[in-house]
Structure 1
């Protein structure tokens, strides 16, 4: 399975490559986590929001969502049966990857960048108000992130807004993969015992956490592959909001 980059996808691809390279480079820059910290919390909101949404869709209750200052998070839900537990536990890592893939596709399909930022702000604020009011840090983080996204939507140029969405997409994808790598490491019998979604599934099913991590990594890579393939396909309209847009023959 392979794909070829369409000519009209090249401006978006250049922007995506730039934000991906920037995201990776910031991992190696001292104190750069100060810059990336809000984006890390954004991805954690998406991860925990995936758990909450899966719980609601499977007929379960959500008791609370908490974002920690460390960048980790927890969502408390009921689980009515093994299947709903599987869906809820899987929806965190895969939800972050799906959201990153969705942002990429919205950019590629020429959805107005400001609308995407407003919808993302509304999502974070909804999660905060609906499930996070019992945690002060969650409330503060949710209000700041949603306000920042809304201000960007209102005052950024179209090019800057599109660049920000690409950066958010890269952060969702890269952090989802990084979190899955961490879950895989923590699933090792030699690793310290730390609660993870994979550990929860192992306790519920008897299937080793290591295997659950492998399954989720495979599914996440599959989501990413199909998102990139759709991103690379030719389309009729052009995207006017790109920092590197050029005239196509």
Structure 2
């Protein structure tokens, strides 16, 4: 009970930003994870969870019946919903996956910019719980439970400094990792190996070329990196590096 009270207090009151080396260091680490092989594969699983959660959330919001989510060992996933196979609702559902990690990273950056580390961890836990309820295969359940175990362990057992570093790492990772799946998708599309990708589904639904949808995803991801990164760094950059207004 005391831990719950302390967590709630941190959510309400907020926390001071960590040292600048933590903010910058976690950003560099996140970039290295995205650019490397083995670490990226682990991170890719987290990105896929958020990707499928984006599909699922929008499907529910537009009135479709969510059937379930499946996560696979190759870090791919699929979200199945029932409803009209065409129209704005289906377009919104198909569109929601790729921007989801970048947008969640931007939300997390805003929370961290306001000192809401505990709130970020709570939002992440609720996201995982929502996905867990809808997962329909064993590997997916194990993946979400594993991610949840790490999150709960850090939120409940780790020192405040570790929680802050973890929150910044996850945020940077979501922001930066929103770009790599788009590069991978374009490579697959060039080889004709992704006929059922979100971009190609959107092309069939709207008549707009898949390449243009991919460009829209990329612009959104880059925008989130710039805005989110600026937000994360605003509290730690020297005042001389920040833009200032002219004195009158």
Task: Give the whole-Å Cα distance in 1 for the aligned partners of 2:90 and 2:19.
Answer: 38
**Cα–Cα, structure 1 residues 234 and 115, in superposed 2: closer, same or farther, change >3 Å?**
closer
TM alignment of 1:152-171, pairs within 5 A? 152-171=154-173
**Alpha-carbon deviation of 1:138?**
0.8
Q: Is the 8 A contact 1:187 1:198 kept in 2?
A: no
- The equivalent position to 2:78 in structure 1, one of 74, 78, 81, is 74
Q: Corresponding residue for 2:213?
A: 212
- The equivalent position to 1:187 in structure 2, one of 186, 189, 199, is 189
Unaligned runs of 5+ in 2: 1-15, 237-248
Corresponding residue SS for 1:92: coil
Q: Corresponding residue for 1:119?
A: 123
Calculate the TM-score normalised by the size of structure 1: 0.78
Asked if 1:140 corresponds to 2:147, the answer is no
Q: Is the 8 A contact 1:114 1:158 kept in 2?
A: no
Unaligned runs of 5+ in 1: 1-8, 236-249
**Alpha-carbon deviation of 1:217?**
0.9
Q: Corresponding residue for 2:111?
A: 106
**Alpha-carbon deviation of 1:223?**
2.9
**Alpha-carbon deviation of 1:23?**
2.7
Q: Is the 8 A contact 1:51 1:89 kept in 2?
A: yes
Q: Which stretch shows the higher mean deviation, 102-111 or 79-88?
A: 79-88
Deviations 1:174-216 (A, max 9, x none): 221101122233333x443442100111111222111110111
**Cα–Cα, structure 1 residues 62 and 159, in superposed 2: closer, same or farther, change >3 Å?**
same
**Cα–Cα, structure 1 residues 172 and 152, in superposed 2: closer, same or farther, change >3 Å?**
same
**Alpha-carbon deviation of 1:172?**
1.3
Calculate the TM-score normalised by the size of structure 2: 0.78
Corresponding residue SS for 1:77: strand
Q: Corresponding residue for 1:224?
A: 225
Give the number of aligned pairs: 220
Task: Give the whole-Å Cα distance in 1 for the aligned partners of 2:51 and 2:35.
Answer: 24
Task: Give the whole-Å Cα distance in 1 for the aligned partners of 2:212 and 2:187.
Answer: 11
Q: Is the 8 A contact 1:117 1:149 kept in 2?
A: yes
Q: Corresponding residue for 2:57?
A: 53
Corresponding residue SS for 2:98: helix
Q: Corresponding residue for 1:196?
A: 197
Task: Give the whole-Å Cα distance in 2 for the aligned partners of 1:70 and 1:165.
Answer: 26
Q: Is the 8 A contact 1:121 1:150 kept in 2?
A: yes
**Alpha-carbon deviation of 1:98?**
0.7
Q: Corresponding residue for 2:151?
A: 149
- The equivalent position to 2:23 in structure 1, one of 12, 16, 19, is 16
**Alpha-carbon deviation of 1:225?**
2.7
Q: Is the 8 A contact 1:66 1:138 kept in 2?
A: yes
Asked if 1:83 corresponds to 2:88, the answer is yes
